[in-house]
């Protein structure tokens, strides 16, 4: 009898990164404590979690900058550790401590980085323009503002046209307009089919940009799903806001469907799981002029999961990977 061994399926066409049961310990502290996840090709994948949750450690393991104690990691079908030089041209990495050639202008710096990857000056100019630094191209790196430097760090991660991009809090030092401009740059990168792994503390940003997010707490995944699914599954209450004083708080509390009524910053806030019913009741009482509704956001889910103590939630929303 002959036996046919079936080759393992080639998942590299659909999966950019696979992390299986990865652990990393520093002294007696588990920085990453048995994390498994898969990032799909072309996916905008967010990594969220409080300070010290293990995000940077996990990302550095994926990038091949740090060795896991145990578990397996595959990036674009290859192991990133020991330092895999074949992966470098295919990955773009922006970190919180990106290094610059400080005695160069922004343009010279980027052309130097492009040159390391055998890309030309035109690539440097294109990328400078895409992050809104054309006007600063002749400014020495050391004379750039914090936000401009951050944009140069992002440009340095993009200039060689990588298919997989790691960005670590890229909008941390950006003003609101630059932040929105960067969102457009990132959306364009995604629409070109690139995979983006995005660490951020801005939950609005994760909600606006990411296809899926993993919320890390204490080195473990507390939730992993699309922002929409996480918000829907959490069943967090909606809020109706009325100008304070329009209805006494006690009366508002007694409206059927209202879970809690409070006064916050000039508004009467009604928390409810039945916004339609409460809206109709408010309409009957005072009309709907000046009434605003706020649905639950990823921030509500995040705060519930991470809690004040930052301990892992007992019941993860999803462990899908």
Q: Which is nearer to ligand ATP, 172 or 273 (CB)?
A: 172
CA dist 224 → 21, 66, 151, 247, 254 (Å)? 15, 23, 29, 40, 37
Residue 295 Cβ, how far from ligand ATP at the closest point, in Å? 27
Which candidate, 37, 30, 88, places its Cα nearest to that of 57? 30
Half-sphere exposure of 169 (CA within 13 A, CB side): 15
Residue 198 Cβ, how far from ligand ATP at the closest point, in Å? 13
Q: Which is nearer to ligand ATP, 70 or 143 (CB)?
A: 70
Residue 277 Cβ, how far from ligand ATP at the closest point, in Å? 40
> Which residues 6+ apart lie within 8 Å of 75 measured at CB?
16, 17, 62, 64, 84, 87, 91, 164
Q: Which is nearer to ligand ATP, 26 or 101 (CB)?
A: 26
Residue 130 Cβ, how far from ligand ATP at the closest point, in Å? 26
Q: Which is nearer to ligand ATP, 57 or 130 (CB)?
A: 57
> Which string of x and - marks every residue 15-54 that binds ligand ATP (by CB under 6 A)?
-----------x--x-x-----------------x-xxxx
When asked if residue 218 is in the footprint of ligand ATP (CB under 6 A), the reply is no
Q: Which is nearer to ligand ATP, 153 or 268 (CB)?
A: 153
CA dist 60 → 37, 172, 296, 305 (Å)? 15, 19, 32, 24
Which candidate, 59, 144, 150, places its Cα nearest to that of 98? 150
Q: Report the 10 Å Cβ neighbour count for 108.
A: 17
Residue 61 Cβ, how far from ligand ATP at the closest point, in Å? 10
Separation CA 316–CA 84 (nearest Å)? 34
How would you classify residue 5: left for phi > 0, otherwise alpha for psi between -120 and 50, otherwise beta? beta
Q: Which is nearer to ligand ATP, 2 or 51 (CB)?
A: 51
Residue 94 Cβ, how far from ligand ATP at the closest point, in Å? 14
Q: Which is nearer to ligand ATP, 29 or 228 (CB)?
A: 29
> Which string of x and - marks every residue 148-177 that binds ligand ATP (by CB under 6 A)?
------------------------------
H runs (alpha helix) in the chain: 55-63, 106-116, 121-130, 146-158, 176-191, 203-209, 227-234, 249-253, 275-286, 298-306
Q: Which is nearer to ligand ATP, 34 or 89 (CB)?
A: 34
Residue 52 Cβ, how far from ligand ATP at the closest point, in Å? 4
| Sites for ligand ATP among residues 49-108 (CB under 6 A) | 49, 51-57
CB 233 within 8 A of CB 225: yes
Crossing angle, helix 106-116 and helix 146-158, to 10 degrees?
20
Q: What is the largest CA-CA distance in the chain?
A: 85
Residue 219 Cβ, how far from ligand ATP at the closest point, in Å? 7
Q: Which residues bind ligand ATP (CB under 6 A)?
A: 26, 29, 31, 49, 51-57
């Amino acid at each position: 009898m002959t036996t046919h061994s079936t080759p393992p399926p080639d998942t590299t066409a659909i999966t950019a990164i696979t992390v299986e049961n990865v652990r990393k310990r520093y002294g007696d502290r588990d920085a990453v404590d048995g994390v498994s996840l898969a990032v799909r090709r072309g996916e905008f994948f967010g990594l969220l979690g409080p300070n010290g949750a293990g995000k940077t450690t996990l990302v550095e393991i994926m990038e091949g900058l740090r060795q896991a104690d145990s578990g397996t990691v595959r990036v674009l079908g290859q192991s990133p550790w020991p330092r895999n030089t074949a992966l470098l041209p295919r990955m773009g990495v922006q970190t919180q401590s990106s290094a610059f050639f400080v005695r160069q202008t922004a343009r010279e710096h980027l052309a130097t980085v492009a040159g390391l990857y055998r890309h030309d000056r035109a690539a440097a100019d294109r990328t400078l323009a895409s992050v809104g630094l054309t006007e600063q191209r002749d400014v020495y790196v050391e004379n750039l503002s914090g936000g401009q430097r951050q944009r140069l760090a992002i440009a340095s991660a993009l200039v060689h046209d990588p298919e997989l991009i790691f960005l670590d809090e890229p909008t941390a030092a950006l003003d609101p307009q630059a932040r929105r401009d960067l969102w457009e740059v990132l959306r364009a990168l995604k629409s070109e089919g690139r995979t983006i792994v995005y660490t951020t503390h801005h939950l609005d940003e994760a909600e606006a940009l990411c296809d899926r997010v993993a919320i890390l707490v204490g080195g473990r995944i507390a939730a992993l799903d699309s922002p929409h699914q996480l918000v829907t599954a959490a069943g967090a209450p909606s809020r109706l806001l009325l100008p304070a004083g329009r209805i006494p708080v006690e009366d508002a509390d007694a409206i059927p469907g209202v879970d809690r009524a409070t006064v916050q910053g000039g508004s009467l806030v009604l928390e409810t799981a039945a916004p339609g019913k409460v809206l109709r009741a408010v309409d009957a009482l005072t009309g709907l002029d000046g009434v605003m509704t706020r649905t639950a956001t990823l921030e509500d889910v995040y705060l519930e999961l991470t809690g004040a103590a930052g301990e892992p939630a007992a019941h993860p929303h999803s462990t899908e990977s």
